[in-house]
Amino acid sequence: MTESNGSQRSVGDSPPRVDGTGKVTGAALYVDDLPVPGAWHGRTVRSTVPHGILRAIRLDADFDWSQVVVVTAEDIPGRNLITLIVDDQPALVPLGGTIRHVEEAVAVVVAPTRAAALEASRHVTLEVDALPSIHDLDAALAAAVRLHGDDNVQKRLEIHRDDADIDAVLAACDHVVEGVYTTGAQEQMYIETQGMVARWEDGRCHVVGSLQCPYYVHTALKPLLALGDDEVIVGQAVTGGGFGGKEEYPSMLAAHAALASLKTGRPVKLIYDRGEDIAVTTKRHPARVRHRLGLRADGTLVAADVDVLIDGGAYVTLSPVVLSRAILHATGPYRIPHVRVVGRSMATNTPPHGAFRGFGAPQTTFAYERQMAKAAVRVGMDPIAFRRHNLLRDGDTTATGQVLSGSVGSDAVVDALEQALEAEPPTPATRFGTLSAPVRRGRGLAVCFHGAGFTGSGEARLMGRATVAALPTGGFEVRSSSTDIGQGALTIFTQIAAQALGVDPVHVHIAQASTDRVPDSGPTVASRTCMVVGRVVEQAATALRERLETWGRSASSAAPAASTASTASAPPTAPTPAPGTAAGAGAHDVLALARRHLDQVGEVAETRTYEPPAGVAWDDDTYTGSAYPVFGWAACLVDLAVDEDSLEVTVERCLHAIDVGRAIHPRIVKGQIEGGTLQALGWALWESVPYADGRVANPSMTDCIIPTSSDAPELETILVEVPYAYGPHGAKGVGEIPMDGPAAAVASALEQALGVACDELPLLPEVLQRLVAQGGAASIGASS
Amino acid sequence: MKLRLTLNGTARQLDVHPMRRLLDVLRADLALTGSKEGCGEGECGACTVLIDGEPVNSCLVPVAQAADHEVVTVEHLADEALMSDVQAALVEFGGTQCGICTPGIAVCATVALEREPDASRERLRELLAGNLCRCTGYQLIIDALADAQAARAAAARGHGAERGTGHPGATAS
């Protein structure tokens, strides 16, 4: 079958996913598939107003509560907070406490069946003294209602490239291009809703769920439950997509499930239905970016002044780091000598916004690439030539003063895009024939970069660890907390470890990401799993093979009395060995050595800790230095057609060239890029999350749509490989960058097609109709 | 109420409330958890099963409607083999990522390829449009189905062993 692959298959090949068979046959167990004997089911009771003081929780006296347990803040044994960056969000609002958004959790009702829990939840009413509330950036800025400090600013961050007076510099430019770019919330819409199972055993709390970051949940549960490190065990079930949506919110579900299990003395399942999931979980931050760009008549960029506002929602959660990534990407992959960027995350009475693929960068990328499109028109240059004229290249300096050194794929991705354009398009341009009216066509371009790994000093702080061990049952096991959420972590770690060990991939097993079994590798976010943790896996596997080989050479009889585990940190200065060199000694040798070692000495494992490459220094106070260890680079081109009557848009062609460093598994990389690209097209054209008084107005899949296979164009993906010396085999992050560019390309194509500025997302037909009406373009959208 | 149906080739008698969702009966009573609930309102297709060969969203079907009919779930697509050719192609071509939509895709695609063996890529997209996937952008799913289609066509012409793009699942069904 598909998993009986040969030993030649490894890095750079595309073997079948190791988890593929279970997924296509239905055998894979997601959280709601896990058999949990005796489990009761939880349902969360939430506020009905966006802002107020909770006075009472009333249980309907006529309802039969004999088979229901109600969990409130009073049942929390420890600290009533969800630990994250700023500990401001309660797990359950206590009596007398402040409700800050309409979906805020107040109680959890627990009953023998899901239906009974839902029914019981309808018989709980809240008494709340309502307060005035604010729901958008303008209201937050006006600060008539103060939710955070005096000005509702949750976080303010600034970048100053130099001391120049940016207004004076702009005033002296030949051209100044100015625009305001607004983007809406976006729902991750993983097809598996969030879910968690908790149970207590021997005084320890065991949690399994749909999640990206087991140690985030672990960190949040310990103070909430007043338990120690070893008393909370958090594991990942097979997870049906995350895209950032399962980065931090699972801590909330885990808190509720654990408290419910504690009070009932039973295992508790807490599985959100789709309506609840859309309404309450985090979304991409709505944003407004004001961008001023100064340039010379010859098209040379001189200055950028960018003001970034994001709607953080009711609690701080991850907004400071989303804002950080937003401003660090705000001037794009271009040489601009004078830069000022100011970013603010604003508090509103909206459910907190959070991580979604791209993490702030898509919002600012939309702004700067729309600016570049306008600037090219202004100076009369071809869009590609204009970008080439200003692109960052090896040795250039970014807005934070980072000198780019190595793996700079800016030209390579533009070259690849141009080559693909010179070739014939692989599919006919008119795919669907559904456009009834005359159509207008447009072409849009976007070039962008995306910092891989944690921002600034993040990776140095995280010190992600991974272990590779020889198993008593034969073969090897990789232990890391990096989760497979569909992106292929299990498969690429198998490939990387197998190649470093010099064994067939069938001899490598990846341990379940459970905090009692794996070290903390850092979270599964920020395009870091392959590049950062993959490298640590490679180092641990290499160290284990070398240790076994050394032992084998020196100890035909006398085995070394060394400890059975090593936790040395390998210096990160040595580039990755060339592919294939590790396998030289022969697979049998390492496998046989491991078996002999187990028999004669005992278990053997190697753990390694990530160290950023030398020279990656970042100053959080001045926001200067190396913002990221390396960047990915991308060029995207969109051809589209707009129906003149209905203003429906059909994407006819979407080309995406992305520098991934090295593709460990080209097909998985292609799948990552294509999935991210379609999410970006969806964000640009179809996906809308309107709010009404702080509440999501379309909490269902029927109304909150994502693209279908019929909406999607044939996606043309070009993998460009400019190797990164400190990634495994040259690989660097790829998870997020496909999300960044396509929306700007779509908007620029629509601007070309319709002759009106398209500076907001999503560009729904009704939005286009308004823009066309405002822009006075005759004969378009007339009948709609 | 008691009802009879044929489930994955086996005659079964169930004692269930007639208005329970077929999806819940499959998952909770019969431990067939391959069919997934993504939305509960017939939008996402993750719960797709076959009733008399017709793909349906089992979250919208009261179990009574399956009485005296033949129900096939993802667990039975390959009969005795581990995977059907369609399932194997989805694995081989990267048509599954997080995998939560994959059972529904596999069920729907099985019918699509049987009914329209010559469907174009564009037609395949229409046939799959009731099954949402958030991971792949659909490209590799369509690639997988196109390959399975080509393999069947080649096998029908008697050239099954000479498949150009051959994937290892070709012999599975």
Q: Do B168 and A4 touch (CB under 8 A)?
A: yes
Q: Domain total for chain B?
A: 2
Does some domain include residue B171?
no
Average pLDDT score over residue span A272-278: 98
Q: Are residues B66 and B112 in the same domain?
A: no
Q: Residues B71, B104: one domain?
A: no
Residues 6+ apart with CB under 8 A from A284: A183, A185, A186, A188, A353, A356, A358, A362, A363, A683
Asked if the Cβ–Cβ distance from B32 to A191 is below 8 Å, we say: no
pLDDT of A510 strictly over 60: yes
pLDDT of residue A777: 59
Task: Measure in Å the smallest separation between the Cα of B138 and chain A Cα atoms.
Answer: 6
Q: What is the mean pLDDT of residues A537-552?
A: 97
Asked if B141 is an interface residue toward chain A (Cβ–Cβ < 8 A), one would say yes
Q: Give tens-digit pLDDT for A717-739.
A: 999 999 999 999 999 999 999 99
Q: Are residues B100 and B46 in the same domain?
A: no
Query: How far is it, in rounded angstroms, from Cα A711 to Cα A649?
Result: 10
Q: How confident is the model at residue A779 (pLDDT cuts 50, 70, 90)?
A: low
Angle at the Cα of A285 (from A279 to A291), degrees rounded to 5?
Answer: 155
d(Cα A241, Cα B127) in Å, to the nearest integer?
23
Residue closest to A291 by CA, chosen among A345, A328, A340: A340
At A161-185, the pLDDT tens digits run: 999 999 999 999 999 999 999 999 9
Query: Cα–Cα distance between A456 and A300 in angstroms, integer?
Result: 29
- pLDDT bracket for residue A567 (50, 70, 90): low
Sheet holding B10-15, edge to edge: B10-15, B2-7, B70-72, B48-51, B54-57
Domain boundary among B47, B76, B105: B76
Residue B163 binned pLDDT confidence (cut-offs 50, 70, 90): very low
Residue A557, pLDDT > 60, answer: no
Q: Which chain B residue has the Cα nearest residue A237?
A: B98
Q: How confident is the model at residue A778 (pLDDT cuts 50, 70, 90)?
A: low
Q: Are A748 and A169 in contact (CB under 8 A)?
A: no
Residue B104, domain member (yes or no): yes
Question: Quick one: closest CA in A to B20, which residue?
Answer: A115
> Which residue range(s) make up the domain with B7?
2-76
Mutation site, A1, A13, A24, A491, interface B, largest B CB count within 10 A: A24
**Residue type present at position A188:** Q
Which two tokens mark A327?
């401003």
Q: Are A470 and A615 in contact (CB under 8 A)?
A: no
Q: Does residue B98 sit in the same domain as residue B122?
A: yes
State whether residue A391 is helix, strand or coil.
Answer: strand
Mutate which of B21, B138, B142 to test chain A, going by most A C-beta atoms within 10 A?
B138
Domain co-membership, B122 together with B70: no
pLDDT of residue A588: 59
- If asked whether residues B117 and B69 sit together in one domain, one would say no
* Res. A556: pLDDT tops 90: no
A365-398: pLDDT as tens digits: 999 999 999 999 999 999 999 999 999 999 999 9
pLDDT tens track for A316-354: 999 999 999 999 999 999 999 999 999 999 999 999 999
The domain boundary, picked from B54, B76, B98, lies at: B76
- What are the tokens at A391? 């692109």
The better pLDDT of the pair A74, B164 is held by: A74
Residue at B173 is within a domain: no
Where exactly does CATH 3.90.1170.50 map onto chain A?
A: 34-131+211-271
CB atoms within 10 A of CB A433: 8
Mean predicted confidence (pLDDT) in B28-43:
98
* Interchain contact B57–A (C-beta under 8 A): no
- Between A432 and A467, the more confident residue is A467
Check CB contact under 8 Å for A239 and B128: no
pLDDT tens readout for residues A194-239: 999 999 999 999 999 999 999 999 999 999 999 999 999 999 999 9
The values of phi and psi at residue B34, to 5°, are -65, -35
pLDDT of B160 higher than 60: no
How far apart, in whole angstroms, are the C-alpha atoms of residue A483 and residue A515? 12
The mean pLDDT value for A85-104 works out to 97
A657: phi then psi, degrees, rounded to nearest 5: -105, 125
B122-142: pLDDT as tens digits: 999 999 999 999 999 999 999
Q: Helix crossing, B139-156 with B85-92: angle to 10°?
A: 140
Residues of B in Cβ contact (< 8 Å) with A241: 97-98, 100, 134-135
Which residue would you say has higher pLDDT here, A20 or A567? Answer: A20
| Closest residue by Cα to residue A600 from A646, A532, A537, A552 | A552
Q: What is chain A's mean pLDDT, rounded?
A: 93
**Within this chain, do residues B103 and B120 fall inside the same structural domain, yes or no?**
yes
**Domain shared by B131 and B95, yes or no:** yes
Q: Is the pLDDT of residue A309 over 60?
A: yes
Residues of A in contact with B102 (CB under 8 A): 23-24
Does residue A527 register a pLDDT over 90?
yes
Q: How confident is the model at residue A578 (pLDDT cuts 50, 70, 90)?
A: very low
Asked if residue B24 is part of any domain, the answer here is yes
B72 and B17, same structural domain? yes
Q: Does domain A34-131+211-271 have CATH number 3.90.1170.50?
A: yes
* Cβ contact, residue pair A20, B96, below 8 Å: yes
Taking a C-beta distance cutoff of 8 angstroms, is the pair A626, A614 a contact? no
Determine the average pLDDT of the residues in A489-497. 98
> Per the domain annotation, does B123 fall within a domain?
yes
**Whether residue B107 sits in one domain with residue B58:** no
Residue B60 lies in a domain: yes
What CA–CA distances, in Å, run from B43 to A271, A317, A648, A703, B121? Answer: 19, 31, 21, 10, 22
Domain boundary among B76, B94, B112: B76
CB < 8 Å to A667, chain B: 93-94, 140
Tokens of A574: 């040595």
Kindly report, as residue ranges, where domains of CATH 3.30.365.10 are found in chain A. Answer: 20-29+457-609, 287-455+624-775
d(CA B96, CA B144): 10
Question: What's residue A177's pLDDT?
Answer: 98
Task: Identify whether B167 is part of a domain.
Answer: no
Q: What is the CATH number of the domain that holds B21?
A: 3.10.20.30
The pLDDT-based confidence of A555 (bands split at 50, 70, 90) is confident
Helix axes A534-554, A489-501, angle to 10 degrees: 30
pLDDT in tens, A386-444: 999 999 999 999 999 999 999 999 999 999 999 999 997 665 544 444 566 799 999 99
B89 in the same domain as B72? no
* Residue A100 Cα, gap to closest chain B Cα (Å): 28
CATH architecture for segment(s) A287-455+624-775: 2-Layer Sandwich (3.30)
Q: Are A2 and B168 within 8 A, CB to CB?
A: yes
Residue A69's pLDDT band (boundaries 50, 70, 90)? very high
Segment B30-47 shows an average pLDDT of 98
Quickly list H helices, A432-554.
458-462, 489-501, 534-554
**A599 pLDDT higher than 50:** yes
Cβ contact B98–A700 (<8 Å): no
What CATH number has the domain spanning A20-29+457-609? 3.30.365.10
Q: Which CATH number fits the domain that encloses residue B93?
A: 1.10.150.120
Residue range A777-784: mean pLDDT, rounded: 52
Residue A249 · residue A354 · CB < 8 Å: yes
For the cut 50, the answer to whether the pLDDT of residue B159 exceeds it is: yes
B45 touches chain A (CB under 8 A): no
Residue keyed to tokens 């037609």: B123
Q: What pLDDT, on the 0 to 100 scale, is given for residue A1?
A: 33
Whether chain A has a CB inside 8 Å of the CB on B118: the answer is no
* Contacts of residue A739, Cβ cutoff 8 Å, sequence gap at least 6: A357, A358, A361, A362, A676, A677, A679, A680, A683
